[in-house]
């Protein structure tokens, strides 16, 4: 593509190319499934203050500038940062639910020690409210789908010591992330996101947030529709299709 877009143009044909994006926003985009830049590239650029100019080898278009230097006009007057930079999605994750975990101190720590010992990185974590009658709870977390067998095997091997009832593995999920530094100072972003998904009939299974990102997990077969609904809800659509996808398969 010719730069960084507000969404994957293969999913959202009306995605707009961004003239510039901050390091933090690009880090969140890359970590959330955007396929333009490798995460480590952006980490090094931010650490050493190096602007990254993202352009295509197949065109002479201007591209996107990744930088924290303020946007200015001719008179060097800073312009307001857009509220939302874009919508990223990721199909490469799976979900494990540890069912029937004793709701006592140390059990969650033990679960994630076992997962870490298997060399597995974890993304989102949700613990349900325990059932008073049984004193048990469920803990769900997402991880790279390719690491699912290793995590499942490690937890199964330690089941007697941890004391959980069973494991559920689900690789038919997708993650959608709404990213924008401007959401810090704009109330109602979460409500607008969830209203858009509700209107589109998309069910949310997990939610995770950072200062400039809201991520939700939904069914994989609903992910494309969810991305388009959220992109439109935040007025990110261009009037005409801007993107040309020259090559690459992403992940």
Residue 212 lies in a domain: no
Residue 58 lies in a domain: no
Rounded Cα–Cα distance for residues 97 and 127 (Å)? 9
Residue 75 has pLDDT above 50, yes or no: no
Number of domains in the chain: 1
Residue 69 lies in a domain: no
The pLDDT of residue 110 is 97
Residue 209 lies in a domain: no
Residue 208 lies in a domain: no
The pLDDT of residue 47 is 96
At residue 141, φ and ψ (nearest 5 deg) are -150, 155
Of 50-59, 150-159, 227-236, give the lowest mean pLDDT range: 50-59
* Proportion of the chain in helix, strand, coil states, percent, rounded to 5: 30, 25, 45
Segment 181-200 shows an average pLDDT of: 93
**Mean per-residue pLDDT over the chain, rounded:** 91
Residue 130 lies in a domain: yes
The first and second tokens of residue 95, run together, are 């979900």
Structural domain range at position 139: 93-170
Q: How far is CA 87 from the centre of its chain?
A: 8
Residue among 164, 60, 76, 64 at smallest CA distance from 112: 164
Segment 144-164 shows an average pLDDT of: 97
Residue 233 host element (H or E): helix 223-233
Residue 251 has pLDDT above 50, yes or no: no
Give the 3-state secondary structure of 131-175: ECCCCEEEEEEEEEHHHHHHHHHHHHHCHHHHCCCEEEEECCEEE
Residue 125 lies in a domain: yes
The pLDDT of residue 249 is 56
The pLDDT of residue 76 is 45
**Contact between residue 20 and residue 68 where contact means Cβ atoms under 8 Å apart:** no
Residue 133 lies in a domain: yes
Which CATH number characterizes residue 112's domain? 3.30.70.260
């Amino acid at each position: 593509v010719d730069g960084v877009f507000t969404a994957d143009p293969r999913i959202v044909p009306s995605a707009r190319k961004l003239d510039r994006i901050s390091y933090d926003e690009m880090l969140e985009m890359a970590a959330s499934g955007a396929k333009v830049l490798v995460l480590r590239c952006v980490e090094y650029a931010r650490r050493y203050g190096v602007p990254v100019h993202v352009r295509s080898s197949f065109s002479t278009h201007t591209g996107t500038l990744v930088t924290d230097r303020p946007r200015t006009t001719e008179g060097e007057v800073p312009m307001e940062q857009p509220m939302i930079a874009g919508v990223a999605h990721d199909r490469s994750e799976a979900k494990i639910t540890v069912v029937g975990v004793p709701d006592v101190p140390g059990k969650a720590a033990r679960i994630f020690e076992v997962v870490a010992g298997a060399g597995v990185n974890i993304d989102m974590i949700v613990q349900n409210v325990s059932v008073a009658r049984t004193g048990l709870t469920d803990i769900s977390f997402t991880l790279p789908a390719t690491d699912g067998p290793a995590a499942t095997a490690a937890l199964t091997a330690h089941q007697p010591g941890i004391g959980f009832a069973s494991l559920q593995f689900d690789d038919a999920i997708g993650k959608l992330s709404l990213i924008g530094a401007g959401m810090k100072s704009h109330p109602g972003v979460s409500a607008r996101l969830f209203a858009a998904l509700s209107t589109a009939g998309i069910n949310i299974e997990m939610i995770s947030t950072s200062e400039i990102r809201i991520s939700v997990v939904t069914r994989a077969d609903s992910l494309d529709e969810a991305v388009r609904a959220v992109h439109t809800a935040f007025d990110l659509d261009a009037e005409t299709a801007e993107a040309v996808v020259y090559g690459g398969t992403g992940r």
